[in-house]
Structure 1
Amino acid sequence: MLHRNLADLYAFLIVAQEHSFTRAAARLGVSQSALSHTLRQLEARLGVRLLARTTRSVAPTEAGERLKRTLAPAFGEIGAELAALGDYREAPGGSFRITAVEHAVETVLWPALERLLPNYPDIAVEITVEAALVDIVAERYDAGVRLGEQVAKDMIAVPISPEMRLAVVGAPAYFADHPPPLTPDDLTAHCCINLRLPTHGGFYAWEFEKDGRELKVRVDGQLAFNGVPQVLRAATAGFGLACVFEDQVREPIADGRLVRVLEDWCPPFPGYHLYYPSRRQSSAAFQILIDALRRQGNPGPR
């Protein structure tokens, strides 16, 4: 009975995390109808409704939300302990789930994994690309990758990229009709392309610093996107100024498609960090992954 309850509780946790029987069934490798039947039986045995179902979505009830908060760290601990058993194998192995933003995947994670994984066939890595900040414990991730300033203080954080800089850019065609801004305050007179943040839903306030003075500027313009590739496409087409990571515009600046301004207002800041719960048992395989990412970033002293 205990084994059955654990399996059913894990199924509930996945449904509660995904807010969808379809996605949860795919993640668990079972049919949607079988999963729905499992959850109905679990609710019947417990005598309490755990999920509120509609034709379009599924969400935990108050009781379900309480159970979810309890189960997520518990199953996370079990997963960590199982991963730690890999230390007793001849070849390090284990499966790891990592949440990261797309830019980090392209510039740090994938280059490291491309070199690492062929040498360790028993290490498996699942990467979920998402811009919003997530609770990696509740969502059962082994680790996350975000900018250093975004990592919670109770996490172990390992720098895995060099320092980064922002760059404000515009097309030559745009500057043919607009004088380049000399200070961030001048941006209020410019057409700027906004980026909507996924976590808070608002527009990103452009951040600047010079001689100890920090500024955040709310910009305005005709266009706004929730993705950087679209922002850059609009900027290159001359629709306004964009504020992005320096490495994302290195080539178009070099070939003259974009012109950089306010460079002296964009100092370096801490780059990407791999972070994970302090209570996570670090297996040999996980340590190999950390070391590969640290070498990939080759950052200076923290």
Structure 2
Amino acid sequence: MQRDDLIDLNAFIAIAEERSFTRAASKLGVSQSALSHKIRRLETRLGVRLLSRTTRSVSPTDAGERLLAGLRPAFEQIEDHLDVLGELRERPAGTIRLTLPLHAATSIVWPAVAKLMRDYPDISVELSIDSGMRDIVADRFDAGVRLGEQVARDMIAVRIGPELRMAAVATPDYFRAHGRPAQPQDLADHICINLRFTTAGGLYAWEFEKDGRALNARVEGQFITNNVELIIQSAIEGVGIAFVPQDHVADHVAAGRLERVLDDWCPPFPGYHLYYPSRRQPKTAFALLIEALRYRGA
């Protein structure tokens, strides 16, 4: 196999996975025209069309899908062999890619990552902020960070943070005008601020529990967003009741800008966990990150 063959095949994998010449070119650090040239050269050499192109999208043809299915494990094996060689270096090195929500990134992961990169200059870290449930294997992430209850059972999960609690909050003026709900069912008579999931697109049903009894409340109000910080800001401005992680609003509650309700319906639940495939042996750099993030209690 010629060197150009490997280069062109790697370009094909990038385009097929990204479904975009623009994103693939950015990922590989080349121009779109250079990428197009590599694909034309590969298709000409193989005598078959690998990609179906429209003005809005790019997707593999049947032949492209078959080629991609065979190339992925082969290229992953090459990467594994290179990682093994990298382990022979005196200093840990490599790139670690994580997918995680913004709250976990800022409150837990970033402080550990910043120290890790200072201590090991040859380690690079990429944090992809995403509140949706990504397929870390298909999207070629080393690991993901999600709440413990969201991690699939076939993954290795490492606890990296304390238990969390939700908080239903609004301004004192809102409660003076509308009263205070005593139980989740009372929220039907209140103006609430809804959260829309980024990936699934549905509205979050507020989750409550008391004395072993679980209750999900579908709430209504004038304002919907997919951003928790904007939900908190709108609550501070009196739009209605918000339902957000307690640590997001602890300072606002302490300062009197917001007040909590239904506190006895908001028990603790498993916090953030780092998860990765059980079949994958952690590289030295990744093992260092695991230990840096591992939760050891207060």
Same topology, TM > 0.5: yes
The one-letter amino acid paired with 2:58 is V
Residue of structure 1 in register with 2:296 after alignment: 298
Residue of structure 2 in register with 1:166 after alignment: 166
CA distance in 2, matches of 1:125, 1:118: 12
The one-letter amino acid paired with 1:116 is L
User: Are the aligned partners of 1:168 and 1:261 in contact in 2 as well (CA < 8 Å)?
Assistant: yes
TM-aligned CA distance change 1:70 to 1:275, over 3 Å: farther
**TM-score, length basis structure 1:** 0.92
User: Are the aligned partners of 2:96 and 2:285 in contact in 1 as well (CA < 8 Å)?
Assistant: no
User: Are the aligned partners of 2:180 and 2:261 in contact in 1 as well (CA < 8 Å)?
Assistant: yes
TM-aligned CA distance change 1:229 to 1:90, over 3 Å: same
- Render the CA deviation track for 1:144-173: whole Å, top value 9, x for unaligned: 111111112111111111111111111112
Query: Which moves more between the two structures, 50-59 or 279-288?
Result: 50-59
The one-letter amino acid paired with 2:147 is L
- What is the total number of aligned residue pairs between the two structures? 298
User: Are the aligned partners of 1:192 and 1:222 in contact in 2 as well (CA < 8 Å)?
Assistant: yes
TM-aligned CA distance change 1:225 to 1:9, over 3 Å: same
User: Are the aligned partners of 1:159 and 1:299 in contact in 2 as well (CA < 8 Å)?
Assistant: no
TM-aligned CA distance change 1:166 to 1:64, over 3 Å: farther
The one-letter amino acid paired with 1:157 is A
- Render the CA deviation track for 1:203-247: whole Å, top value 9, x for unaligned: 011111111111111111101001111111111111111111111
The one-letter amino acid paired with 2:137 is V
Q: CA deviation at 1:58?
A: 1.9
Q: CA deviation at 1:261?
A: 0.9
Task: Could you tell me which runs of 5 or more consecutive residues in structure 1 were left unpaired when the two chains were aligned.
Answer: none
TM-aligned CA distance change 1:119 to 1:224, over 3 Å: same
Taking the TM superposition and a 5 Å limit, the aligned residue runs for 1:95-110 are 95-110=95-110
SS at match of 1:106: helix
Query: Which moves more between the two structures, 3-12 or 236-245?
Result: 3-12
Residue of structure 2 in register with 1:64 after alignment: 64
CA distance in 2, matches of 1:130, 1:69: 26
Q: CA deviation at 1:106?
A: 0.4
CA distance in 2, matches of 1:7, 1:184: 58
- Render the CA deviation track for 1:98-149: whole Å, top value 9, x for unaligned: 1111111101110111222111011111111112111111111111111111
Taking the TM superposition and a 5 Å limit, the aligned residue runs for 1:14-53 are 14-53=14-53
CA distance in 2, matches of 1:253, 1:81: 53
User: Are the aligned partners of 1:160 and 1:293 in contact in 2 as well (CA < 8 Å)?
Assistant: yes
Taking the TM superposition and a 5 Å limit, the aligned residue runs for 1:186-197 are 186-197=186-197
SS at match of 2:121: coil
CA distance in 1, matches of 2:181, 2:131: 29
CA distance in 1, matches of 2:165, 2:83: 36
Taking the TM superposition and a 5 Å limit, the aligned residue runs for 1:1-302 are 1=1, 3-294=3-294, 297-299=295-297
CA distance in 1, matches of 2:244, 2:70: 39
User: Are the aligned partners of 1:192 and 1:220 in contact in 2 as well (CA < 8 Å)?
Assistant: yes
Q: CA deviation at 1:28?
A: 0.2
CA distance in 1, matches of 2:262, 2:49: 57
CA distance in 2, matches of 1:74, 1:162: 39
Q: CA deviation at 1:26?
A: 1.1
CA distance in 2, matches of 1:60, 1:268: 46
Q: CA deviation at 1:62?
A: 4.1
CA distance in 1, matches of 2:76, 2:204: 33
Task: Could you tell me which runs of 5 or more consecutive residues in structure 2 were left unpaired when the two chains were aligned.
Answer: none
| C-alpha RMSD of the superposition | 1.8
TM-aligned CA distance change 1:77 to 1:104, over 3 Å: farther
The one-letter amino acid paired with 1:32 is Q
TM-aligned CA distance change 1:16 to 1:165, over 3 Å: same
User: Are the aligned partners of 1:163 and 1:299 in contact in 2 as well (CA < 8 Å)?
Assistant: no
SS at match of 1:176: helix
SS at match of 1:110: helix
SS at match of 1:88: coil
Query: Which moves more between the two structures, 130-139 or 43-52?
Result: 43-52
User: Are the aligned partners of 1:208 and 1:216 in contact in 2 as well (CA < 8 Å)?
Assistant: yes
- Runs of 4+ residues over 6 Å off in structure 1: none
**TM-score, length basis structure 2:** 0.94
CA distance in 1, matches of 2:266, 2:63: 48
